[in-house]
Structure 1
Amino acid sequence: MEKKTWRQLTVWLHVITSVGWMGEALALFTLLAISRTTTDGAIRAAATSMAHEIDSLLLAPLANASAFTGFMLAAATAWGFTRHWWVLAKFAITLVQLHAGIFLLSGALRDSVVAAPTPPALVAGTALMASALAFQAWLSIAKPWGKARTGAKLPVAPLPALSLIVLVVQLVRRRRELTAPRS
């Protein structure tokens, strides 16, 4: 595959998965805000249950695909991970979002399916996720802050693989949880 074609395909996949991640973050925020503000127990349960399904089945794959394609672009192009402040900022935000989304937000959402009402921190967390994604989109377009100092190179080669490993582990764990008999 030609280098230009590979880059275009990777950018396309990165944009598509990032837009999907943003859409899911906004859907989670909307559903959890409805769940938080309604007085109707049936609507609360339905909204929280739908949010949990979106999170369980769609969010982790798209978030990890977005992160992985971003890592691939940084590693394989002149942008690099540490050459420009905006790329470094996106990289740091992505790592925080993956950790917070997979290990904190998902667990809290799973617990909130049975709890009433939805905790305000969960609604705030989804709003922060969507806001961080919007900020990252702005960073990609504006490319602010210029070049970072050219000092010691950070070892970043294993990071895309780490993202893929986290995705696989999380998907296997979720699949087991979804198929396990409920008591």
Structure 2
Amino acid sequence: MGRGVGKRTRQLLVFVHVAVSVGWMGAGAANVVLAMTAGYTASAEVRQVCYQMIDQVDGFVVIPIAFAALASGVLLCLVTPWGLARYWWVLVKLVLTVAVIGYSTFGLGTWVEDSIAASTRGVESPVAGQLAYGAGLNIAAFLFMTWLSVAKPWGKTPWAPASPRRGHRPVAPRLAAG
């Protein structure tokens, strides 16, 4: 594990990971705008269209690229020295990615369905605020993960394998005479 691919392949994997991650953030930003528009408009027709658009953006953009971001990130971890649990910044990004996918599925996804049902009946969604601000929370998580990728804070985790110090050769254990 660690150095399993060449420079060009690693660059391609980084490109794919960055592209799908930025796409995920962009689609999330579109959902924030749609949810805020639906939550603050007086027009029942606009609300209905906004909630249906969120559902479409989720189904055709957010879900596929969220899993592409997760898969490409894990693949990068497995073929580069960063590892999955060697550095805190990588581990936090992994946990946040899974958390955002779960939150989007079981929280935001449910609120989208509730909002579509309410708008079909011609009433305001009882979860309009939760949907709009929940989508904004995802953007905050995306921005934090982007910062983690740039800053790489906190050093190694306790699960990181010990690396030999430069200039020191490992000493072979001595067998006890007996």
| Structure 1: gaps (5+ residues) | 153-183
Query: Tell me, what secondary structure is at the counterpart of 1:114?
Result: helix
Partner of 2:168: none
Listed as ranges, the matches of 1:67-78 within 5 Å are: 67-78=70-81
Match of 1:88 in 2: 91
Aligned twin of 1:101: 104
Correspondence 1:135 to 2:144: yes
**Which residue identity does 2:6 align to in structure 1?**
K
* Per-residue deviation, residues 123-145 of structure 1 (Å, max 9, x unmatched): 12111111101110000000011
In structure 1, distance between residues paired with 2:22 and 2:124: 29
Asked whether the 8 Å contact 2:87–2:160 carries over to 1, the reply is no
**CA distance in structure 2 between the aligned counterparts of 1:71 and 1:105, rounded to whole angstroms:** 24
> 1:151–1:78: structure 2 CA closer, same or farther, 3 Å change rule?
closer
Instruction: Supply the distance in 2 between the matched residues of 1:151 and 1:75 (Cα, whole angstroms).
Output: 14
Q: CA deviation at 1:17?
A: 0.3
Q: What's the counterpart of residue 49 of structure 1? A: 52
Deviation at 1:58, TM superposition (A): 1.2
State which of 113, 124, 132 in structure 2 corresponds to 1:123. Answer: 132
TM-score (structure 1 length as normaliser): 0.78
- How do 1:18-37 and structure 2 match up within 5 A? 18-37=21-40
Cα RMSD for the two superposed structures: 1.7
Report how far residue 111 of structure 1 moved.
2.4
1:111 aligns to 2:114 (yes or no): yes
105-114 vs 12-21, greater mean Cα deviation: 105-114
- In the alignment, the residues of structure 2 paired with residue 109 and residue 50 of structure 1 have an alpha-carbon distance, to the nearest angstrom, of 10
1:100 shift after superposition: 1.4
2-structure distance, mates of 1:76, 1:151: 15
Secondary structure in 2 matching 1:81 = coil
Identity of aligned residues (%): 35
Distance 2:136 2:45 in 1: 24
Paired AA for residue 39 in structure 2: R
Larger relative helix fraction: 1
Matched residue, 1:9? 12
Aligned residues: 152
Alignment TM-score, normalising by the size of structure 2: 0.80
CA distance in 2 between partners of 1:112 and 1:121 (Å): 11
Distance 1:64 1:143 in 2: 23
